[in-house]
């Protein structure tokens, strides 16, 4: 597999494109918005410049990485020669099913179709295609260029051959792949999201404040980032979507989102992406957030 198509130029999509391109894969980055594509390429360039300053890459590697990426606003055009398609669109089940129906029609018959979903059933996504044995989950962690883990999720019909191929491919990206089975939340979010939700419940119940909760977990449990700040970093809307998928999948009240989380998302307080969540990320308050993070 040398030709990789990435659907979605947002935070995860451009990070996945960066990693493939830096490891000498030919990448087609696809988004319906040219503005999103331009922003994605700008982000990749900025991240490469950071690596260059730290002397982790050379100017030649930066140039080659960027040259390995071509952008498209058309899915049919972008995937027509793909060996692997990685979907990294918004965590919305209806959107993903729509995309996979189109990918099944437009991508080469032998292409593997992967999704970067963090919680949605691979089996459900695969069921809308005529190639369920070639559908698999590749759940990268954010920020993709830095984080080593990739959860490789087998759907009910995913073949052994496809699973091995994607495991080997992940190693070629200098990642550490871990194979898991297809249950809501997989491993990472099945454990992480209830913890974040409990931290939000702790705040909601008035046990302690935002800074105090995060400090207890950082200094007492050796977490590099407090759970409320991590929720801001992930996106409170994403956290809510994942918890809803898990609650619907297991019918267990322990996965029910905290009312405070629901209200914050409805109010547009989504974390870093909106400028405010549990912390204020406006320009006037950024220094305070950063200083607290490293205390």
254 exposed, middle or buried (CB, 10 Å; 0-12, 13-18, 19+)?
exposed
Domain residue spans of the chain = 3-181, 190-287
**Which residue in the list 18, 106, 116, 139 is annotated as catalytic?**
139
What pLDDT is attached to residue 290?
Answer: 47
**Which residue in the list 47, 68, 118, 241 is annotated as catalytic?**
118
Q: Considering the domain 3-181, what is its CATH architecture?
A: 3-Layer(aba) Sandwich (3.40)
CA distances from 204 to 200, 215, 274 (A): 6, 17, 21
Catalytic (active site) residue 118: yes
What pLDDT is attached to residue 119?
Answer: 92
What pLDDT is attached to residue 282?
Answer: 86
**How far apart (Å, rounded) are the C-alpha atoms in residues 168 and 251?**
35
Give pLDDT tens digits for 206-220.
999 999 999 999 999
Residue pointed to by tokens 């759907």: 155
**Which residue in the list 91, 151, 170, 276 is annotated as catalytic?**
151
Nearest 5°: phi and psi at 30? -120, 130
- Rounded to an integer, the average pLDDT of 159-172 is 98
**The two domains 3-181 and 190-287 share their CATH topology (first three levels equal):** no
The fold for domain 190-287 equals: 1.10.1040
Catalytic (active site) residue 139: yes
Catalytic (active site) residue 189: yes
**Which residue in the list 47, 68, 121, 189 is annotated as catalytic?**
189
Give pLDDT tens digits for 36-77.
999 999 999 999 999 999 999 999 999 999 999 999 999 999
pTM to 2 decimal places = 0.89
Nearest 5°: phi and psi at 13? -60, -45
Catalytic (active site) residue 151: yes
Q: Can you tell me whether residue 97 is helix, strand or coil?
A: helix
Q: For the chain, where are the E strands, in sequence order?
A: 3-7, 26-30, 69-72, 84-87, 112-115, 135-140, 149-154, 176-181
Nearest 5°: phi and psi at 188? -55, -55
């Amino acid at each position: 597999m040398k030709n990789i198509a990435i659907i979605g130029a947002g935070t995860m999509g451009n990070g996945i494109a960066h990693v493939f391109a830096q490891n000498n894969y030919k990448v087609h980055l696809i988004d319906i918005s040219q503005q999103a594509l331009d922003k994605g390429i700008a982000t990749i360039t900025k991240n490469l410049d950071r690596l260059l300053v730290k002397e982790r890459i050379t100017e030649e590697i930066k140039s080659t990485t960027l040259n390995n990426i071509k952008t498209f606003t058309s899915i049919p055009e972008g995937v027509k020669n793909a060996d692997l398609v990685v979907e990294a669109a918004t965590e919305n089940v209806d959107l993903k099913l729509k995309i996979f129906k189109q990918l099944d029609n437009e991508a080469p018959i032998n292409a593997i179709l992967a999704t970067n979903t963090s919680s949605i059933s691979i089996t459900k996504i695969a069921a809308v295609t005529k190639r369920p044995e070639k559908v698999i989950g590749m759940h990268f962690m954010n920020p993709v260029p830095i984080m080593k883990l990739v959860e490789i999720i087998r759907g009910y019909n995913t073949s052994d051959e496809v699973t091995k191929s994607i495991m080997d491919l992940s190693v070629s990206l200098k990642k550490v792949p871990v194979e898991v089975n297809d249950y809501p939340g997989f491993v990472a979010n099945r454990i992480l999201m209830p913890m974040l939700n409990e931290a939000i419940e702790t705040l909601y119940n008035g046990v302690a404040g935002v800074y105090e909760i995060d400090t207890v977990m950082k200094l007492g449990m050796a977490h590099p980032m407090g759970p409320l700040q991590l929720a801001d970093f992930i996106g409170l809307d994403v956290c809510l979507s994942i918890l809803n998928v898990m609650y619907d999948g297991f019918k267990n009240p322990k996965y029910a989102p905290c009312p405070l989380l629901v209200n914050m998302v409805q109010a547009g307080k989504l974390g870093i992406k909106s400028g405010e969540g549990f912390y204020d990320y406006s320009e006037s308050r950024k220094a305070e957030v950063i200083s607290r993070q490293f205390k």
